[in-house]
Amino acid sequence: MLQIIYLFMEKQNIIDLEQEKKEILKRYRSLLRACRRTLEKGDKLLIRKAFDIALEAHKDMRRKSGEPYIYHPIAVAHICAEEIGLGTTSVVCALLHDVVEDTDLTLDDIRGLFGEKEAKIIDGLTKISGVFDQGSSQQAENFRKMLLTLSDDVRVILIKLADRLHNMRTLDSMQRDKQLKIASETLYLYAPLAHRLGLNAIKTELEDLGLKYTEPDVYHSIQQKLKESEPERKKFIAKFIVPIKEILEEQGMKSTIIGRPKSIYSINTKIKTKGVTFEEIFDLFAIRIIIDTPLETEKADCWRVYSIVTDFYLPSPDRLRDWISTPKANGYESLHATVMGPEGKWVEVQIRSLRMDELAEKGYAAHWKYKDSANESQLDEWIRKIREVLENPEENAMEFLDDFKLNLFAEEIFAFTPKGEIKTLPKNSTALDFAFDIHTKVGEKCIGAKVNHKLVPLSYKLKSGDQVEVLTSSKQKPKEDWLGFVVTARAKSKIKAALREEKRKISKDGKAMLERKFNNLKIDFNPNNINQLANYFKLPSSLELFYRIAMGNIDVKHLKDFYQENGKITHKSGTIKKHESAPSLEQMVTAARGKTDLLVIGENLQKIDYKLSPCCNPIPGDDVFGFITINEGIKIHRVNCPNAIQLLSNYAYRVVKAKWTSQELISFLAGIKITGIDEVGIVNNITKIISNELNVNMRSISFDTNDGTFDGTIMVFVQDTDHLTELMKKLKKVNGVLNVTRIDGKD
């Protein structure tokens, strides 16, 4: 009987393998179809060669889902060809992107089989494959290496984004903690990077998938609501389009008009930032009008379409965005207008040419197709700046990462030099940021600026359209407080470098002063004695010791209490004890984790020092994780905490899984925000429900009224999320209450 079962299983396995071979071939053919647009003579053979090598190299490997590993490189190559629009070289490198790291093949083998260009790209991809796997400074350092490849060959980053997109699409088979880590990295860095490189479609999908795994309930709730409102939306879009399409056809303009819903991620962002419900978001979708028109007339034709749209629908003058005259820094060009559509609903209309649409969806890769486009220089200029910042070898990797991140997704402003040259800067940039954008030396010597011919300080925040004249002085030097108001990564990096250089110069004077004093005291001026002295004053380095002496923080007169004995420096009060170093973070993490990876939050955890983090105020029922801090033990954060994405992506090795036990006897503080119409007795009705119906204790309550409306904040003690949800449902039913939301942190 057993033999029959084994034979059956063996036969079943053979059938599966045959099926897999057919599936691999099917996917390979689909890849070739996706490459068809860019194929030149000999390209097909190159792709086949790369495919055969990858197939052989990965033949015994399987993904977490159980599928053959080769599915992954084929899928990454397909994304490169179909969704980013890359050519044969990128497809070959995508097929081989894991072979050097995971198999016996070397870079020299790749160089011999394909060439120097392919070997260089695969080398770049191999170096960054484990960007987020070690300690925070190491992962930041690896990310810096990844960005350095931007100006060497931007294809490394584009293939890496395709790799990340496929990993996100297949994240279901991973464990929950791995899903959280990968999704957080994606939201923290990869989605903003896709945005900056103009890959709009990929950025949107990465954001949606990131939300799906960090906040699954929120994601599925919005997805369901979009599905339910789809028929009504389609009807409205059809009604909106009809008159515009007729006129465009009459005027002989070829066009495609589509209605696109907002992404789930952007809807959720709006719900959070505006404090509104899904039902209260008026711009759930945008109408996109894409016209097929020659390059030389596309700008004029886009404005013609705008004129046609506004003949039928009244525009909102405050909501016109002209990114055709001044494209975004990532090359995005489009004309956005918000108009009052049928049934009194505001609708966003995006007007662009076919060329602009391809640039918007495929970003940097599409620029190669439109080499004559003047706006290509926008992205090249950004990449040049990144290179410049990255090449500063002494920049702290984590600081750089945070500064760089700020500039990835920032909204942009446009400012002008006195000669009319346009400069694109992140929103909230100051006159000093503008000065550093012109040139490092201009920034370092800047003493102020004239904005629109009026004198302003260095910290003045610029607005779009400002004309800026930078004022300099040869006596000016960068100052520490400048770091408090500049926002661009370039300015921060250059100021820090200048301050370090200044510190080094001052330290030379301090070193000379100390050497003279040592000679007077007949103490040998050697590294050992200098380090002993630094230890005595509890300073991290000899450089810091020299600097403090030069600045007068350490008076050399006090050194008369030191003398030399047996070649070693000694203090009159006794031998200098070596300053003991604190335990390393790795030791602390190991000690805090103990032997288990799971932290159970409950009543009997006297041994583990943990705190509920005030930045998100978690309560039982919330999806949470523990974060090992340096001074405050373990802090519990909600997965949707404002700081969670940064913590999970940058410091994953300091995160512990956490879950709640039963907490019936314990109450937790939670905040509720209520808005509505100010009616007589409304506060009384609200407090009655809280205290009488649900027996909830309040810690604080505050209400503010303004011309017939009110805003209220109530801090209450609840047992868990179900208890809080029940309370919020009841409060929504009170007459006059329009909106009830949970507050993330404590007031």
3-state secondary structure of 679: coil
Count of CB atoms situated within 10 Å of the CB of 736: 16
CB-based contact 129:98 (threshold 8 Å)? yes
As a whole number of Å, the CA-based R_g of the chain is: 31
Q: What is the DSSP letter of 40?
A: -
Inter-helix orientation angle 2-35/43-57, to 10°: 150
Are 192 and 325 a contacting pair, CB within 8 Å? Answer: no
Measured distance CA(721)–CA(218) in Å, rounded: 14
354-to-252, 288, 328, 459 alpha-carbon distances in Å: 16, 11, 17, 41
102 is catalytic: yes
Report residue 137 as tokens: 């400074």
Question: Both tokens of residue 174?
Answer: 């991973």
Tokens of 697: 């204790």
> Degrees (nearest 5) of the Cα angle 179, 185, 186?
85
8-state DSSP, 343: G
Rounded Cα–Cα distance for residues 82 and 86 (Å): 8
What one-character-per-residue DSSP string does 600-630 give? EESS--TTS-EEE-TTT---TTS-EEEEE-S
One of 67, 102, 177, 376 is an active-site residue; which one? 102
Query: Encoding tokens for residue 90?
Result: 């990128």
Contact 426, 407 (CB under 8 A): yes
Q: 157 with 142: CB under 8 angstroms?
A: no
Catalytic entry in 16, 52, 56, 101: 101
Residue numbers annotated as active site = 101-102
